[in-house]
Amino acid sequence: MEKVIIAGPCSAESETQMLTTARKIKEISSSVLFRAGIWKPRTKPGSFEGMGEQGLVWLKKVKDDLGLRIATEVANAGHVELALKYGVDVLWIGARSTVNPFSVQEIADALKGSNATVYIKNPTHPELALWEGAVERIEKSGIKDIGLIHRGFKTHDHSSYRNNPLWQIPIEMKVRHPQYPMICDVSHIVGKRDGLLDVASKAATLDYQGLMIETHINPEVALSDAQQQITPDALKELLSKVEWKVPSLNTSVQDKLKMLREQINLLDDEIMQMLGARMKVAEDIGRLKKENNMPILQPNRFQEIINENVAKGKKHGLSEEFIVHFLDAIHIESINKQNQVIFDRKLT
């Protein structure tokens, strides 16, 4: 299966910008799907919010003059109607729309009777049911050609990503719905030019079916998301370095087992990151205890933690024995960290 590469500027800004970028992208491959944001509502009003219908005129010119297929994001029925009017080949539903079933249903109703290709981004926060619900609504509208876009999730941790990839969630989506191709929106996960290749390569090893990468003829002057867009030349170099996993010719139990094991690996990585963050908090507690001459061991506090988490663990199918052993090990390590701080031992 040929990989889907969606590339083009975050926003349509001018006819010259669109056509110049598209010509350079076509030199890389005529099968690249050219994207551009037409409507760009921002978190706060006042910044550039897209060119609206005028941008669709330029997008159609890319299709007519250069023969590239074109794609854009839609967020309501009006967007769908205009996009279809101008011959947009692929419509995608953004993360902020996916999180709202009312918006998805409005888009689904507007799509009825069309033969559009529709990709659906994951919701902004990590809730698989919302993603699945959006897919189901589009299915019920009669759309046959559906794809998924993994663009990362907003989380409260201090991640180096703009949107934390939380790879185990899209992997679970792939396991549940293998009939839908999954592509990775590398630009929105990373949020800057550095690091795009690492995320693209990770997606390739996880057998994604393609990539979305924001590409601008002159990223430094882009009117939106300038820091995460790359030039067409940089796009060409990046794509040349991505090594795609060779697809298996069958979907045997072993293939599914490999996918599930990869989920476990990704979840283990996340557990290690969370445990590391927890131990840093334990060190901060140790410093506070040292400053205030407080004892390290506070048995009542630990018993509260046990009681609370045994109840929580049961809701997730975890036995009391496992929770107690797990928390006991964490508690011992936390005490060690606080001892190291209080007695000025070297932290390892």
**Torsion, CA 49, CA 51, CA 53, CA 59, rounded to 10:** -120
Residue 201, classified by CB atoms within 10 Å of its CB into exposed (0-12), middle (13-18) or buried (19+), is: middle
Could you tell me which residues are beta bridge partners of residue 71? Answer: 35, 90
Contact status, residue 11 vs residue 36, Cβ threshold 8 Å = yes
Residue 134: strand, helix, or coil: helix
Q: Where are the domains of the chain?
A: 4-241, 253-342
Per-residue pLDDT of 279-306, as tens digits, reads: 888 889 888 888 888 887 777 888 888 8
pTM greater than 0.85 (yes/no): no
Residue 47 pLDDT greater than 80, yes or no: no
120: which 2 tokens? 């659906």
Closest of 119, 124, 79, 132 to residue 99, by C-alpha: 124
Residue 321 CA to residue 325 CA, distance in Å, equals: 6
Name every residue whose Cβ is closer than 8 Å to that of residue 150 and which is 6 or more positions away in sequence: 121, 122, 165, 170, 173, 182, 183, 184, 185, 189, 203, 208
Q: Tell me what pLDDT residue 290 has.
A: 85
Name every residue whose Cβ is closer than 8 Å to that of residue 90 and which is 6 or more positions away in sequence: 6, 33, 69, 70, 71, 116, 117, 118, 119
CATH for the stretch 253-342: 1.20.59.10
48: which 2 tokens? 């550039």
The reply to whether domains 4-241 and 253-342 share a CATH topology is: no
Residue 158 pLDDT greater than 90, yes or no: no
Q: Please tell me the CATH superfamily of domain 4-241, with its number.
A: Aldolase class I (3.20.20.70)
Of all helices (H) and strands (E), which one includes residue 117?
Answer: strand 117-121
Per-residue pLDDT of 79-125, as tens digits, reads: 999 999 999 999 999 999 999 999 999 999 999 999 999 999 999 99
Residue 73 pLDDT greater than 80, yes or no: yes
Pick the more confident residue, 237 or 290.
237
